[in-house]
Structure 1
């Protein structure tokens, strides 16, 4: 038995060493460190020019996804080309984070000689990114890798690298993607009243917060309604979106008034009232242009999309009548 003692001790030492090494991750392959695609921070970016050859034609200005130039001035991002269109601040912020946070997965070709085979030629989307230190980075986005969920990308004249398609989807935005397409600036939690004055209807939606109440109460033309109906209407108006480019309100001529919507909101303890106007052109009877409260921008909305708002009282009455009828039917059946 004694002759086996040294062997047992050696085995125990080996087992102990193996366990220690395993706990110290000695047997694990080190994860390859991700390489940032651009090597910049979002706050380093001063301006971005989008070149999208798919829409760069002689009529590019009329295209919803044509090239554009955006620039940071006094801490605010604005579009300077093709026009000073209003931007969606949340989308811009997410876009800048996507650009600065993008990782490259692998190097496909260190010194490429044929960019066309990667879709990185003249038909590729290109972003010219100017930094605050006056450096410029050119980001070119190419085609799909044949056997992976990734796209070919080149930064300046560097190597062709692979970047995940999901990441590319967050970076390859068009001018249209960056625009603020919703004319009505509403927040359901801030709205205290809506007043609609239109051709077919006039109504007033008003809220009141009673002392000690957990929910606000709502009235429509002085009659109480369910808060869910009121909030639903506000949400529908808030989410109305144009399918076209925003126009300068000054470009509209010979317009006919269709409605006004006065929105009262409580923001930071102060009452703010905004008035939106709806106008039509005789040449475009199916469109209503919603003019923003500052009078600068006109958002084209299909006339029928605004009918829900205009006919809200009638829709609510029809719904209540239907509910009452169902209740009476149920009572009759029970009898």
Structure 2
């Protein structure tokens, strides 16, 4: 028995040591330290150029190019190239946060000699970023990693790193992604009236409620209409969106008026009326261009998507007739 005592003591020491080490987290794998991809904050960015190199053509040569240049001026982001297109402020803010918050997962190659194999060559997506302290940052986005959950990325002439595909999807935006694509600036809680004058119909939708009323009532051409129908129409108009780049209204030649929509809203306690015009051109019979109230921009919409607005009275009448028919049927069975 005595000859086993040293062995038992050694085993006990090992067990005690293992328990102590486990309690001190000696066996826990260290989590990989996340490294910020660009090393900047969103407030540091002064300008961004989107270089669309996939087409191999410049903006002037290829209308499908997504190249653009954006600058921060007096605290407001604006597009300066190819044109001063109106931007979606929410999208811009989210984009800047995505750029500053992106993290690299791992270093793929410290000193790359062949960028083409990572998709980081001549056809890579590229962002040229300038900071407020005059630093220049070039971000190139390449192909997918074999695991398909990350993309190859290079910052300036540094190493090739992996960045999660989810992060890249929030960074690799096109020019069109950044535009304000909705021509009608409506807040359904503030709308007091809509006045439509067009070829197929003329109607006036008005709120018959006092300001601040919890349950709003509406009239259509002086007749009471269901609130749900009025709110639905306002929502549909508000959410109409173009799939194309916005055009300068002055570019439309020989345009023919199709409709006008006057929108009265309560803004900061004041009644404000905006007038939108719908125009058509002979070369594009299926398109209606909506001109913004300032007369600057033309948004192209398919003519049929505006039918819900144009034929709103017919929709209401059909719903009323259906309701009346249902009531008559119920009465006859009784």
Name the CA distance, whole Å, in 2 between partners of 1:18 and 1:38: 42
Q: TM-score, normalised by structure 2?
A: 0.90
Is residue 56–residue 66 contact of structure 1 (8 Å, CA) maintained in 2? no
Deviation at 1:259, TM superposition (A): 0.8
Name the CA distance, whole Å, in 1 between partners of 2:21 and 2:320: 73
Deviation at 1:156, TM superposition (A): 0.4
Deviation at 1:242, TM superposition (A): 1.1
Alignment of 1:289-300 (within 5 A): 289-300=289-300
* 2:174 paired residue number: 174
Unaligned runs of 5+ in 1: 1-6
* 2:284 paired residue number: 284
RMSD: 2.6
Q: What do the CA deviations read for 1:238-274 (whole angstroms, capped 9, x no partner)?
A: 1111122111111112111111111111122222111
2:137 counterpart SS class: strand
Is residue 263–residue 274 contact of structure 1 (8 Å, CA) maintained in 2? yes
Deviation at 1:28, TM superposition (A): 3.2
Residue 66 (str. 1) matches residue 66 (str. 2): yes
Name the CA distance, whole Å, in 2 between partners of 1:82 and 1:212: 43
Change (3 A) 1:133 1:292: same
* 2:44 paired residue number: 44
Unaligned runs of 5+ in 2: 1-7
* 2:3 paired residue number: none
Is residue 183–residue 241 contact of structure 1 (8 Å, CA) maintained in 2? yes
* 1:195 paired residue number: 195
Deviation at 1:148, TM superposition (A): 3.9
Name the CA distance, whole Å, in 2 between partners of 1:207 and 1:141: 51
Is residue 58–residue 65 contact of structure 2 (8 Å, CA) maintained in 1? no
Q: TM-score, normalised by structure 1?
A: 0.90
* 1:319 paired residue number: 319
* 2:111 paired residue number: 111
Q: What do the CA deviations read for 1:213-240 (whole angstroms, capped 9, x no partner)?
A: 5311111111111211111101100111
2:256 counterpart SS class: strand
Is residue 68–residue 81 contact of structure 2 (8 Å, CA) maintained in 1? yes
Deviation at 1:211, TM superposition (A): 8.4
Tell me the matched-pair count.
326
Q: Which moved more, 1:80-89 or 1:205-214?
A: 205-214
